[in-house]
A and B are shown apart, each in its own frame.
Chain A
Amino acid sequence: GAGVSQSPRYKVAKRGQDVALRCDPISGHVSLFWYQQALGQGPEFLTYFQNEAQLDKSGLPSDRFFAERPEGSVSTLKIQRTQQEDSAVYLCASSLEVYSYQETQYFGPGTRLLVL
């Protein structure tokens, strides 16, 4: 069956450029998470959607980061005016139910962003 997919898999941006990262969750999954994984570190939470509602964006590092999920399925993470410290792997995860601690989060392959 289809898992979580992300595109692009790799993105090189010049400092100051805007980028958009896409996540296609597993069909029917209510919860969607974005995580940021710096080199040699574990993933860190960025933001959470329940259907189309963004219920938690406490992990977004600055107002340059913006995420949306307008129809409750595909999600886009946008980073404006990229900085070198934004270089990381951005992981998307989805789970079936609202209370996702009861459910497994399924992860996509990630988008590796390099800002030069």
Chain B
Amino acid sequence: AQKVTQAQTEISVVEKEDVTLDCVYETRDTTYYLFWYKQPPSGELVFLIRRNSFDEQNEISGRYSWNFQKSTSSFNFTITASQVVDSAVYFCAWDSPRGATNKLIFGTGTLLAVQP
């Protein structure tokens, strides 16, 4: 069965520190998609990135970067020079075109607290 594991429950850093959020997934599918979502205190899940299983290129968007490694089934997320506004719960999620419904399977989330 598919599973997404975010082993870090909570991380606390001081502003301007770099921080990496880990995500490990389990699947037997060869085609799948991985996502990161941010959930600020307001509750709305904000989409950050989607990657497909055939594209292992790392991606950088401003202070955010993602490292996808199929060999270790990991899709880690790094925030460089963290800011207080980055404080939120971050979820990694998985999806696959196999099956009738393309529902996201989420990890349990990592609470990131950035202290000023």
Using A99-B97, A101-B95 as known contacts, say yes or no to A106 and B102 having CB atoms under 8 A apart: no
Complex Cα distance, B51 from A104, in Å, reads: 11
Contact in complex: B43, A48 (CB < 8 Å):
no
Interfacial chain A residues near B104, Cβ < 8 Å: 33, 35, 43, 45, 105
Contact in complex: A101, B97 (CB < 8 Å):
yes
Is A91 close to B, CB under 8 A? yes
Complex Cα distance, B105 from A112, in Å, reads: 21
Give 1 or 0 for each of B16-33: 1 = CB within 8 Å of chain A CB: 000000000000000001
Is A89 close to B, CB under 8 A? yes
Which chain A residues numbered 85 to 116 have a C-beta less than 8 Å away from chain B? 89, 91, 93, 99-101, 104-110, 112
Complex: chain A residue closest to B4, CB-CB: A42
Size class of the contact patch on chain A: 20 to 34
Which chain A residues numbered 53 to 100 have a C-beta less than 8 Å away from chain B? 55-56, 58-59, 89, 91, 93, 99-100
Complex Cα distance, B46 from A99, in Å, reads: 20
Contact in complex: B100, A56 (CB < 8 Å):
yes
Using A42-B109, A101-B95 as known contacts, say yes or no to A33 and B43 having CB atoms under 8 A apart: no
Using A42-B106, A101-B95 as known contacts, say yes or no to A91 and B45 having CB atoms under 8 A apart: yes
Q: Report which of B43, B47, B102, B108 forms a contact with A100, defined as CB distance below 8 A.
A: B102
Q: Taking the nearest CB of chain A, how far is it from the CB of B28, in angstroms?
A: 16
Interfacial chain A residues near B93, Cβ < 8 Å: 42
